[in-house]
Structure 1
Amino acid sequence: MFFRPRPWLLPLLPLLALLLAAAARAQDMGTLERIAQTGTINLGHREYAAPFSYYDGKKQVVGYSHELMLRLLESIKAELKLPALTIRLVPVTTQNRIPLVQNGTVDLECAVTSHTLERERLVSFSNSIFVVGLRLLVHKDSGIRDFADLAGRAVAVTAGTTSERVLRTYNENQGRRLKILLAREQGAAFKLLESGEAQAVMHDDALLYGERAKAKKPEDWIVVGTPLASEVYGCMLRKGDTAFKQVVDRGLERLMRSGEARQIHTRWFQRPIPPKGLNLNWPPSEALLELYRNPNDRPPG
C-alpha cells in the first residue's frame, strides 16, 4: 500500500528529512569529530568504587582511575588543538556502563571495568590501567583464610561482574557448597558482610581494600585467599572507534612510561585518601609495575 502524506504534513517533510539525516550523521560520527564540534567530552564514572572512581566527602568524583582519565584530556586537547574541553560527568553502574558507552552517552569510562574477550565484542578497551586478583574480604575472626573455607557459608558478590561469573563457576565445580548473595554495588555487598548475612565478599582485591578502608573499624576486616583469577582494568570506549582509541592509548602510554601513573598510584594506594583520610598501604604489584614499563591492551589469558 502506498503511503500518501496528509496535506498538513507536506511542509514538514523537508525538515523531517534534515533531522533524520543529522541523526544518521551523529551516529556515524567518530568520537574525536564530535568532541571537536561540541567542545564537550562525556566521562563515565562510578559512585562507590574507592579508591578508583568514587565520591569524596564533598560529592566530588575522585580516585586513581578518574585521575588517569582526567590526565588523558590533555592528549585529547592536543590532538584536536582545543584550548579547553567542557567535561560532562556521567555516573554509571555495573549494569548500564556498557550500554551507555555503546549508545554514545559516555565517550570514555575509566573506572573498574575488567577487560575480557566477551566484553570486547561489545566495546573497545584502552591500554590496561590496573592489575587485580579475585580474593575475599572477611572478618578477622571468621576463620576464613581461603576459598576452601567457604563451604556452607554465604558469599556476597556484585551482580553482573566477572567476579560473579568466576564465583558461580567455582561453586559449580565444588558441588554448590556455598550460597551466593547478589548485590547491586560492592558497597551493598559489604553491608551484607557487616550485617552478618554474608560471611565473605568476593571481588577484585583492590576494591576489597577500598571497602575495608571505608569501614567503621577497618582493623576488623582482612583480605584473604589465593586469587581465583587475575584481571586487568581498562578504559571503555565505543567499539571500532580506532582514531579515538589511538589517542587514549598514546596518552596512557605517556603517563605510564613517564612515571606519572606511578605517582598517581602512590597518591591513592599509599597515602591517606578521602573521605576518612585512611591509607590503604598497598604498594604496586610486580604485575602492575610491568604494565607501567610495557603498556598493552591485552586481556589476561
Structure 2
Amino acid sequence: MIPPVQAVEVTSSTREGLLVGGVIDMECGSTTITEERLLRNAFSRPIFRNSHRIAHRSGTNSPAPGGLRVVGIQGSTSEAALRSQSDIGFEYTFIGVPSIGAARNAFSNDQHVDAMVADEVILRSLLRGSAAAEDIRLMDVRLGEECYGFMMRHGDGALVHSVDAALDDVFASPDYLLLRKKWFHDELPGLGFGLEIDPADEMFVS
C-alpha cells in the first residue's frame, strides 16, 4: 500500500534540517549534488544539470571601484561558482543574503544592487514569475555546471532505490521529451509563465 504523500514547503536554509529531523522524507527541489552534501545526505540519480547565471538590468553601468553589486545566497553553490570564475569579464562586489527570496527582493527593490546570481532554473522562474521589469536580462556567462537531484537520508536506502527505479522509468519513457517541454519550456500550470528552456538543451540527462 502506497502511503499518503504530504507536501511540505522548505527553503534552502531549512531543507536539510527538516530532512534530518524527519519532518520530510525527500526534498524535491532544485538542489545541487555536491561532495559536501553527499557526506550528510543521500541523493537520487541526477535529474538535470544546470549552470549558475547572473541577471542584470540592461544598461547597468558598472560603478567604481567594486564593479557590479551582485546579490546571492551567502554560502551557496552560486556564490562559490561566481568566486571561482577567474576571468568573468567585469569587476563585482558580492552581497550575501540568507535566502533566494531575500536575493530576489534585494535585486527588485534595492537601488544599490545591480545584479543577482542563482542557478538558471531558479533565476528564470523568479524573474518570469515576478513583476520584473522588461529590461532584466541574463548575462551570457555561465558559471560552473552541477547535477541536481532529489535529497534523502542516508539511512533510507529502500526509498533511494525506489526513487532511482522510478526515475529510470521516466527517463526511458517515450513521453520524457514531452515532460521536458511541459515543465521547462511551456507555460507552467497556474503560474502564467514558462521557463522557455529548449527541451533539447544539454542540461537534461537520461
Q: 1:158 to 1:262 in 2, by over 3 A?
A: farther
Which is bigger in relative contact order (C-alpha 8 A, separation at least 6)?
Answer: 2
Alpha-carbon distance change, 85 to 241 in structure 1, aligned in 2, over 3 angstroms:
closer
Moved more, 135-144 or 230-239: 135-144
Alignment correspondent of 1:91: 9
Deviations 1:107-158 (A, max 9, x none): 11111110011110000010111211111011122257xxxxx952211002
Is the contact between residue 71 and residue 117 of structure 2 (CA under 8 Å) also seen in structure 1?
yes
- Give the aligned length: 202
Give matches, 1:82-161, under 5 Å.
82=1, 84-142=2-60, 151-161=66-76
Deviations 1:43-70 (A, max 9, x none): xxxxxxxxxxxxxxxxxxxxxxxxxxxx
Deviations 1:3-22 (A, max 9, x none): xxxxxxxxxxxxxxxxxxxx
Task: Kindly provide the CA deviation profile for residues 141-193 of structure 1, in whole angstroms up to 9, marking residues without a partner as x.
Answer: 2257xxxxx9522110023421123334458x99xx53222233323212212
2:112 to 169, 172, 197: 197
Structure 1 residues 267 and 179, CA gap change in structure 2 (3 angstroms): same
* Alpha-carbon distance change, 179 to 217 in structure 1, aligned in 2, over 3 angstroms: closer
Q: Give the Cα separation in 2 of the matches to 1:167 and 1:274.
A: 32
- Give TM-score, length-normalised by structure 2: 0.85
In 1: Cα distance, 2:133 partner to 2:189 partner:
14
Deviation at 1:202, TM superposition (A): 0.7
**What are the residue-to-residue correspondences of 1:1-301 with 2, within 5 Å?**
82=1, 84-142=2-60, 151-170=66-85, 178-195=92-109, 196-217=111-132, 219-289=134-204, 291-292=205-206
Closer, same or farther in 2 for the Cα pair 1:200/1:86, shift >3 Å?
same
The question of whether the paired residues in 1 share the 8 Å contact of 2:53 and 2:119 is answered with: yes
Residue identity (%): 26
Judge conservation of contact 1:102–1:122 (CA < 8 Å) in 2.
no
1:119 & 1:159 partners in 2: Cα distance?
16
Contact kept, 8 Å, 2:30 with 2:149, in 1: the verdict is yes
Matches of 1:203 and 1:281, distance apart in 2: 17
Alignment CA distance shift 1:276-1:245 (3 Å) = closer
Q: Using the alignment, how far apart are the partners of 1:261 and 1:197 within structure 2?
A: 43
1:255-301: per-residue Cα shift (whole Å, max 9, x none)? 11104443232122222225551233221354234x12xxxxxxxxx
Task: Give 1:221 deviation, angstroms.
Answer: 1.2
Q: What secondary structure sits across from 1:273 in the alignment?
A: coil
- Shift of the alpha carbon at 1:87? 1.7
- Aligned residue for 1:88, secondary structure, equals coil
- Write the distance in 1 (CA, Å) between the matches of 2:189 and 2:139: 24
Contact 1:134 1:163 in 2 (8 A): yes
| Unaligned runs of at least 5 residues, structure 1 | 1-81, 145-149, 293-301
**Matched residues in 2 for 1:186 and 1:275: separation?**
21
Task: Give the gaps of 5 or more residues in structure 2.
Answer: none
The structure in which a higher percent of residues are helix is: 1
Give the conservation status (yes or no) of the 8 Å contact 1:134–1:203. yes
Bigger Rg, which one: 1
